[in-house]
Homo-oligomer: A and B are copies of this chain.
């Protein structure tokens, strides 16, 4: 029982294939009675046009690609969910794949997506001095990056206020009277970490305090060891900033292992909220980023690009920056305040449009 073909439908309806095509696409008028005869034949045969033949003939593929480093990280999974939701709303399908932070895998998968004729790609790119995605083979494919920008002019990007967020976090600790604040990141190459670090530095410079940074906090052991080391210093830190939510969790465990009290012995705050951050002892003060929005906007920017006539695409992609907000709990030293929606990761951040050109997006 193979799939019915257009010719079969035409024969059954006693018309030419062109008429069937007409009825399907409604491009030209067809005699009402002929049309209904065709429709009936379509129904009877369970006919569905062959997408591949269509695309071969020049039609759009109605599919986009999404590349994320990993889906094990709820952050990316949430973004993927949003992208898919947008794609679904547009009647598009989404080819998803992971790069596993391999620049080569990323390139291979993106190239493979091209063969699948995706109309565009949304990607959270792997850090690289010179991205392989600048290869000419991608010239004709709209690309939108999110969370981390891609160093390619025509590629639009959607990111959050990394610097401002880290700055607020730092200022908050300073307001609590802290002078010795350490920043923990898990990679010196990551755009988000670098930018957050920048915000931290800026805030510290205001009070003339010296930054202390560890960018190797990529495992429980590394964090525990670092903590042990610095707490033994002559002037130990009184507060920590975790560069992302994984580091926040490492920190909690490490602190608990060392038997220190939060916030009495050390205060801590983290970038990026996460489930159960409010249930830790004590609840963690964080800067929350609008994760779902991040993916949603990225996808919408892509679809906006798909809409413009295929040729006159702008040479330079826009940049969208999403607001973050501070969620004060008590690990910073504040009194715990009961939250309205305890485990909500969704903020109603408004979007700040910074781009000077490109597609305008309004949320």
Of the candidate stretches A71-79, A143-151, A166-174, the one touching chain B is A71-79
Confirm or deny: A90 has a beta carbon within 8 angstroms of a beta carbon on chain B.
Answer: no
Which residues does chain B contribute within 8 Å of A140, judged by CB atoms? 1
Q: A88 to B97, Cβ gap below 8 A?
A: yes
Confirm or deny: A232 has a beta carbon within 8 angstroms of a beta carbon on chain B.
Answer: no
Q: Please pick, from B1, B48, B109, B220, the residue contacting A343 in the complex, using a CB distance under 8 A.
A: B220
Beyond A81-B70, A116-B51, is A249–B97 a contact (Cβ under 8 Å)? Answer: no
Confirm or deny: A337 has a beta carbon within 8 angstroms of a beta carbon on chain B.
Answer: no
Q: A116 to B96, Cβ gap below 8 A?
A: no
8 Å CB interface, A309-344 against B: 342-343
Confirm or deny: A252 has a beta carbon within 8 angstroms of a beta carbon on chain B.
Answer: yes
Q: B280 to A1, Cβ gap below 8 A?
A: no
Whole-angstrom distance between the Cβ of A99 and the nearest chain B Cβ = 10
Confirm or deny: A55 has a beta carbon within 8 angstroms of a beta carbon on chain B.
Answer: yes
Residue of B whose beta carbon sits closest to that of A114:
B48
Size category of the A interface is: 35 or more
Which residues does chain B contribute within 8 Å of A51, judged by CB atoms? 115-117
Which residues does chain B contribute within 8 Å of A55, judged by CB atoms? 52
Residue of B whose beta carbon sits closest to that of A71:
B81
Q: Please pick, from B94, B98, B279, B281, the residue contacting A84 in the complex, using a CB distance under 8 A.
A: B98
Residue of B whose beta carbon sits closest to that of A112:
B93
Residue of B whose beta carbon sits closest to that of A341:
B220
Which residues does chain B contribute within 8 Å of A84, judged by CB atoms? 71, 96-98
A189 to B53 alpha-carbon distance, docked (Å): 41
Confirm or deny: A256 has a beta carbon within 8 angstroms of a beta carbon on chain B.
Answer: yes
Confirm or deny: A289 has a beta carbon within 8 angstroms of a beta carbon on chain B.
Answer: no
Interface string of A266-281 (1 = CB under 8 A from B): 0000000001100111
Which residues does chain B contribute within 8 Å of A343, judged by CB atoms? 220, 249, 253
> What are some 16 contacts across the A-B interface (CB < 8 A)?
A49-B115, A50-B56, A52-B117, A53-B56, A63-B95, A71-B78, A71-B80, A72-B77, A77-B77, A88-B98, A88-B109, A93-B112, A249-B275, A249-B343, A275-B276, A279-B280
Q: Which residues of A contact B (CB under 8 A)?
A: 1, 46, 48-53, 55-56, 63, 70-72, 74, 77-78, 80-81, 84-85, 88, 93-98, 105, 109, 112-117, 136-137, 139-140, 220, 249, 252-253, 256, 275-276, 279-281, 342-343
What would 4 more interface pairs be, CB under 8 Å, given A53-B56, A77-B77, A81-B98? A1-B136, A88-B105, A93-B95, A249-B343
